[in-house]
Structure 1
Amino acid sequence: MANWLNNAIFYEIYPQSFKDSNADGIGDFQGIISALEYIRDLGCNAIWINPCFDSSFYDAGYDVRDYYTVAARYGSNEDLAALFERAHELGMHVLLDLVPGHTAIDNPWFKESCKDERNAWTDRYIWRPLSQSPDLNSPYASIRGFLGGIAERPDAAAVNCFSTQACLNYGFGTVTEDWQFAADSPEAQAGRLLIQDIMDFWLGLGCDGFRVDMAASLVKEDSDHHWTSKLWRQVREHLDERYPQAVLVSEWGNPHEALHAGFDMDFLLHFGPSHYLDLFRENPYFSASANGDIRAFADTYRKMLADTAGGGYICIPSGNHDMIRMRDTLTPDEMKLAFTFLLTMPGCPFIYYGDEIGMRYAHGLRSKEGGYERTGSRTPMQWDCSTNAGFSAARRENLYLPVDGAADAPNVASQEEDADSLLHAVRALNTLRMAHPALQADGDIEFLHAQDHAYPLVYARTTGRAGGADSRERIVVAINPSSSEARCALPAAYGGAIGATEDDVLFHIGAIAGVREGELRVPAGSATVFRCR
């Protein structure tokens, strides 16, 4: 596993909405380059860029036409290589978003596969004979449906999500029809080799790794993901031989499976068993107005850590391009508490662009490039109070999406001037994480108290044992999002060690928690990070 991950803090960039350098209304690579120092100064030392390859943009880049060429709207391959180079100069790493499960239906590979005469691409996609049945619905849980009437060949193509996204062929874990290829067949293995070739190309240009879209879905009808996991382990073996510091992050939603499949990290997401939504979105624990409960999350997280110990990291994001923004369910002050949690947990945290200033979800927008309800989370970054919030010098009607036009719309420049802003809190937390190994990815965690809103969330972070007992560091985090003081008993090992001196308070939001009369008392709406003696 790449050694740079232990202190990595990631920043997710939706490229078309981040920074426009040429006044066409769409963000681009030169715009990202101009903002790299802002991201570095925020405290993030790694970036994930959403899909930027040549695309039909029916699904905002998750429908690739050419994996070896960037979309012209963002610039050129040379521009992206320059972005890699500048990021490295600033001590940062860059992950690209790889979509291996499907391509656009106007991808040249798919057009070749549509032909009636056999060629190199005939079996690179999943096809079912139309003669078997005219019904294009799918009886398979792993295939969304079939697309007919699009090819010379008398077959229908399987699709993953939208009808514009044809499934590449990685085989079937369970073969039940004569048109299905086994997962270990040469035809299916050719797909894995293609993934490796695409990765080699971009790693050779300076990319540091990939976030992999729908990573668990490649092999169809593979209920226990046995064959999909084997495929990714083979990819990891290839990378270990050629690019051992390359990082793979999976959109899997099950760290136990993903990390054993060769990924370095897996996200906790809005799907899967993690109870991630309990944190920030559905009856969120970090909202004073809700009645949230963090027990299910903590119990599941403990098990996930035990299952993945030593195998890689669990990533907790503030949000992403597929979720309603955190600001829709939390106030800026509540977001400070949420970020205290996010940035003091193990694994690698991910900050979705704009969450550090509390950008709002835009309700009521028309769908853009397949965004539908996700569109409101993809609006332009708000940099300042100038035209189009500093995102672009284009006419307003030419913007990729409208900016938040409210008088109180948050922006970077205004929050830079406000020492009590969310931006300053996030920056301070990132600085704190970088300064203390116990708070970084490898540090251990012990939940001392994790229940419902009547009690605070309290946990201890400790450095790993590799450095020896004398070099170990122990830090306690106490958070209370409720509107009244919360109390809890602590194990004897911690009760006398918390807050012994003012210097032991490393960070706080609101009033400082402390031990009184044998109890840890955490004021309402507060977060305190202590060094333990």
Structure 2
Amino acid sequence: MSKHPDWLDNAVFYEIYPQSFFDSNGDGIGDIPGIINKLDYIADLGCNAIWMNPCFVSPFLDAGYDVADYYKVAPRYGTNDDLIRLFEEVHKRRMHIILDLVPGHTSWEHPWFKASMKAARNEYTDRYIWTDDLWDSLTGYGFLRGISEREGSVIVNFFSHQPALNYGFYKPEKPWQQPMDAEGPQKTLQAMMDVMRFWLSRGCDGFRVDMAGSLVKNDQEGKGNIALWQKVRAFLDEEFPEAAIISEWGEPDKSLRGGFHMDFLLHFGPSHYNDLFRCDEPYFSARGKGNAAAFVEKYMEYYNKSKDRGLICIPSGNHDMDRLARSLHGDELKIAFAFLLTMPGAPYIYYGDEIGMRYVEGLNSVEGGYKRTGSRSPMQWDDSKNAGFSTAPEEKLYIPLDNAADRPTAAAQMADPNSLRSEVKRLINMRMQHPALQNYSEIKFVHTGYPLMYTRSSGDETLLVILNPSAEEHKVDCCKALGTCIYQLNGSARYEDNGIVVPAQSASVFVI
């Protein structure tokens, strides 16, 4: 196993979208003091690590993924001192926290970009990717033209207000396409490592890296981006060996080779992640019409290529996906979490997924959320005003709340031993008690279809996980009796007539 920070061995992450988590000052938007106020809630759930979405100065045309100052906390969230205090409070609880780094682009309001728009050559002329001629054809790239006195068009990375930073081209094809080792791309990389150094030296434990595979352009096989991130990893290993980096890449065979400690399986890309949770017939639906075979095949391909390099992480969701509870309900959610919390890799729980928060339908876009807005509504803490999220007037809330009378709340679920949150807490506790269930331990799939069966092993301990989301009982031929059951939901699987009989909508774990 490659070198990695020790704390990643059993890390279970909780993703916080700061705008919507907890508002401490009554202005209708979540903030850093609010996160500090709720750290004990996260610790009680069993999570020992946090990923926080962007919190830096921004015009918020893309919810903070359009950074205008990498070195300053946005005033609506608090101050740099508040963020440093958050680091300290997290560490007091023996937890870790990673920030969201957006290295591929900035806001068009960033001072770097404003300087790069000037006709006269300056320090930032090559910080972004500009053509030499305003009328240059740019097939395959989004771009802006006619916005400055500078001759040329500028490439954008996502929305049109997010100009792409210049890390060079793996295979330059035109004069304006600089190679990776040119001065401009090298200075851009150094500037981003300086940003990382600034926050790591103040107590941050690492970064989730936005669009990590997109920095080097014209890099179809990912070789340029892999080489770039290997340089970043070497810098971290030398100066901050306990810092972790996780990529939004979705191709672990590339990202982990590039030096990332972890990569997400994402709702886009080739992973078949959505076959499990978000499609017409999700595998974890009680209808039992789903298919996990393509997911398992791709997962094991990635796993066998990268298991000695790092972790493949399967999140419950994130700020870009539909809520898990939009397609799964009731015990379907519990069994989905039984899967998420018994698989290898560091689990990631999106705030509110642990209580089954719903996708809020029919919302207008907020801060570039568009269809994603319904997954970013305020955390539902209790039955008080605004679900305990904020004391502000309802019309001032960052995003409207789920207004259903039966909306789930953290307080109610904490008081109910049969709630989804209580089940998630029980699963995390089991994961922490058994090395075979932790992040770097081995996995082998025994059966796909219904039920899904796999073993997890570490040292002398081997566990068998059996999951049947279907509303029908299933039997699998097997000549070997089951061992000791250490976890069950809706009854445990049993050995009967030379086979394993698995109850409907059940989950169980055995020591074998």
Counterpart position of 1:225: 222
CA distance 1:221–1:529, shift in 2 (3 Å): same
Q: CA RMSD in A?
A: 1.0
> Is 1:8 aligned to 2:2, yes or no?
no
> Is 1:343 aligned to 2:341, yes or no?
yes
Picking from 382, 387, 390, the partner of 1:389 is 387
Per-residue deviation at 1:489? 2.1
CA contact (8 A) 1:124 1:187 kept: yes
CA contact (8 A) 2:213 2:248 kept: yes
Counterpart position of 2:416: 418
Picking from 447, 450, 457, the partner of 1:462 is 457
> Is 1:88 aligned to 2:91, yes or no?
yes
Counterpart position of 2:374: 376
Provide Cα deviations, 1:65-120, integer angstroms capped at 9, x if missing partner.
00000111100000000000000000100000000000000111100001111110
CA contact (8 A) 2:485 2:511 kept: yes
Pairwise mapping of residues 412-451 of structure 1 onto structure 2 (< 5 A)?
Answer: 412-451=410-449
Per-residue deviation at 1:129? 3.0
Counterpart position of 1:352: 350
SS at match of 2:315: coil
Per-residue deviation at 1:190? 1.1
CA contact (8 A) 2:99 2:204 kept: yes
Pairwise mapping of residues 177-326 of structure 1 onto structure 2 (< 5 A)?
Answer: 177-282=174-279, 283-289=281-287, 291-326=289-324
SS at match of 2:467: strand
> Is 1:79 aligned to 2:82, yes or no?
yes
CA contact (8 A) 2:46 2:428 kept: yes
> Is 1:525 aligned to 2:505, yes or no?
yes
Picking from 475, 483, 495, the partner of 2:463 is 475
SS at match of 2:68: strand
CA contact (8 A) 1:130 1:148 kept: no
- Alpha-carbon distance in structure 2 between the residues aligned to 1:409 and 1:91: 32
Unaligned runs of 5+ in 2: none
SS at match of 2:113: helix
Pairwise mapping of residues 13-52 of structure 1 onto structure 2 (< 5 A)?
Answer: 13-52=16-55
- Alpha-carbon distance in structure 1 between the residues aligned to 2:386 and 2:134: 54
Unaligned runs of 5+ in 1: 466-471
Counterpart code for 1:383? W
CA contact (8 A) 2:9 2:438 kept: yes
Counterpart position of 2:139: 139
Provide Cα deviations, 1:369-406, integer angstroms capped at 9, x if missing partner.
00000000000000000000000011101100011111
Counterpart position of 1:98: 101
SS at match of 1:104: coil
CA distance 1:131–1:340, shift in 2 (3 Å): closer
Per-residue deviation at 1:290? 5.2
Per-residue deviation at 1:330? 0.4
- Alpha-carbon distance in structure 2 between the residues aligned to 1:95 and 1:205: 12
CA contact (8 A) 1:266 1:314 kept: yes
CA contact (8 A) 1:270 1:276 kept: yes
SS at match of 1:47: strand
Pairwise mapping of residues 100-115 of structure 1 onto structure 2 (< 5 A)?
Answer: 100-115=103-118
Counterpart position of 1:62: 65
> Is 1:515 aligned to 2:495, yes or no?
yes
- Alpha-carbon distance in structure 2 between the residues aligned to 1:439 and 1:287: 24
Per-residue deviation at 1:312? 0.3
SS at match of 2:71: strand
Number of aligned positions between the proteins: 508
- TM-score, normalised relative to structure 1: 0.94
Counterpart position of 1:468: none
Provide Cα deviations, 1:128-185, integer angstroms capped at 9, x if missing partner.
134444x6xx302xx3x22112112122111111111001101111111111101121
Counterpart code for 1:146? F
CA contact (8 A) 2:288 2:471 kept: no
- Alpha-carbon distance in structure 2 between the residues aligned to 1:123 and 1:203: 27
Picking from 136, 147, 158, the partner of 1:161 is 158
- Alpha-carbon distance in structure 1 between the residues aligned to 2:88 and 2:215: 32
- Alpha-carbon distance in structure 2 between the residues aligned to 1:408 and 1:309: 43
Per-residue deviation at 1:482? 0.9
- TM-score, normalised relative to structure 2: 0.98
Counterpart position of 1:469: none
CA distance 1:152–1:445, shift in 2 (3 Å): same
The more displaced of 158-167 and 504-513 is 504-513
- Alpha-carbon distance in structure 1 between the residues aligned to 2:323 and 2:166: 34
Counterpart code for 1:516? E
How many percent identity over aligned positions? Answer: 54
Counterpart position of 1:170: 167
CA contact (8 A) 1:112 1:121 kept: yes
